[in-house]
Structure 1
Amino acid sequence: MRAMIMALILSLTAGIASAKPPLREVPEIDGTILAVGIADEIRTNCPDISGRLAKAYRTVLSLKSRARDLGYSNAEIDAYRKSDAEKARLKGARDAYLRQGGVAQGQAASYCDLGRVEIEKGSQIGALLRMN
């Protein structure tokens, strides 16, 4: 009886230990998706900056692989990726980052200024951009 109780306790605690947070709470996944979105917005609105699209594509593919390595299923990854609520949340975070970086919507120069800063810093965002 004691062995059964111990086995039950161990199985319950193993389940708790293996519980995964939502992907939005995994900084390396969510933060990288946000960085890709910010870089895309900068390259779309600044005529002097292009995106390193192949690098961005590889980055996104590697995120999916990393999420699987962390124990997330393809269904969980796709649910996060396709969620309208997550897209809206990330868009809001992107827009807030752009505002904090001095971007004024509709003013290409402000996107270019932030893009140049990110490239010069060698940030995750800057690594996805290049000057034309």
Structure 2
Amino acid sequence: MRAMTIALILSLTAGTVSAKPLLRDVPEIDDTILAVGIADEIRKNCPDISARVFQAYRIVTGLKSTARDLGYSDEEIDAYRKSDTEKARLKREGKTYLTQQGVTAGDPASYCAAGRDEIKKGGQIGALLRMN
């Protein structure tokens, strides 16, 4: 009976520990990575806008620390960061966002207009960009 009780307690606590959401479902992490990706797309496609490299570096390195503080291991963080599935999903979401902002693939002027709007808004994406 005692062994069965211990097994039950261990199974219940193991379920509690593993109940944290996937990193993709943590807005503080996923939304920030998405913003960095969108800013990078704008920067690569608009000759009038460049990246605030130090700011982007600081944000990206801070994400790992934030994820650790939320209880994620380095292995979980690296698996999320290196996942081809997650990269493809974020790329699709970024493309959708840019399209909603009036960006047309292959049209640098549309990327520049979106970038100027983001800079003006002063949000996460705009904070990563600067006019040349």
So what's the TM-score if we normalise by structure 1? 0.90
- The amino acid across from 1:101 in the alignment is Q
How many residues are matched?
130
Q: Distance in 1 between matches of 2:52 and 2:69?
A: 26
- Determine the structure 1 residue equivalent to 2:42: 42
The alignment's C-alpha RMSD in Å is 1.7
Tell me the distance in 2 between the aligned counterparts of 1:122 and 1:11.
Answer: 48
Unaligned 5+ runs, structure 1: none
Helix, strand or coil: the match of 1:47? Answer: coil
> Could you tell me which amino acid in structure 2 is paired with residue 37 of structure 1?
G
Indicate whether 1:99 and 2:102 are aligned: no
Distance in 2, Cα, partners of 1:118 & 1:10:
51
Secondary structure (helix, strand or coil) at the match of 2:116 reads helix
Instruction: Look up the equivalent residue of 1:60 and give its one-letter code.
Output: V
Query: CA deviation digits over 1:18-54, x for unaligned, max 9?
Result: 3211100000100000000000000110011110011
* Residue 15 of structure 1, CA deviation: 3.9
2:52 counterpart residue number: 52
How far residue 112 of structure 1 moved from its aligned partner, in angstroms, is 0.5
Identical-residue share of aligned pairs (%): 66
In 1, the alpha carbon distance for the partners of 2:71 and 2:106 equals 41
C-alpha separation between the residues in 2 aligned to 1:120 and 1:14? 48
Shift of 1:13: 5.0
> Aligned equivalents of 1:28 and 1:128: distance in 2?
16
Q: Structure 1 residue 131: deviation in Å? A: 0.7
**1:107 Cα deviation from its structure 2 partner:** 0.5
Deviations along 1:33-84, whole A, 9 cap, x unmatched? 0000000000110011110011111101000000011111101000000011
Query: Where does residue 111 of structure 1 map in the other structure?
Result: 111
Q: Which runs of 5+ in 2 are unaligned?
A: none
Cα distance between partner residues in 1 of 2:105 and 2:58: 29
TM-score, with structure 2 as normaliser: 0.90
The residue aligned with 1:73 is 73
Structure-1 separation of matches of 2:117 and 2:12: 47
1:114-129 → structure 2 map (5 Å cutoff): 114-129=114-129
